[in-house]
Amino acid sequence: MTSVTANRAKQNFGQVLDSAQREPVLIQKHNRPAAVLLSTQEYDRLRGLNRSEFMDFCQSVGDRAKKAGLTEDSLTNMLSEK
């Protein structure tokens, strides 16, 4: 991952944008990580991974609940109890 200072990113924004098309660019401010600039393709890919992982998690929880005998009716009853 390429790393640039916030000042350099500001002064050479077009160049930094071009770099972000090839790999994520870490922008540092006061010698600390401040942001990461990445291409829209990489952003979409990461969002897809998160969505996919979440759906896999939900499916796993649903499968475990079903295996344990939880039904929609029993869930509704549990949620309505005070």
Q: What is the pTM of this model?
A: 0.63
Structure tokens at 76: 């509704």
Q: If pLDDT is split at 50, 70 and 90, which confidence band does 51 have?
A: confident
Encode pLDDT of 22-50 as tens digits.
999 999 999 999 999 999 999 998 888 88
Report domain extents, the chain: 2-38, 41-80
Q: Which of these, 37, 40, 12, 10, lies nearest to 24 by C-alpha position? A: 37
- Assign domain 2-38 one CATH number from 3.30.420.40, 3.40.50.1110, 3.40.50.2300, 3.40.1620.10: 3.40.1620.10
Q: Which of these, 18, 12, 20, lies nearest to 39 by C-alpha position? A: 20
Structure confidence at residue 49 (pLDDT): 85
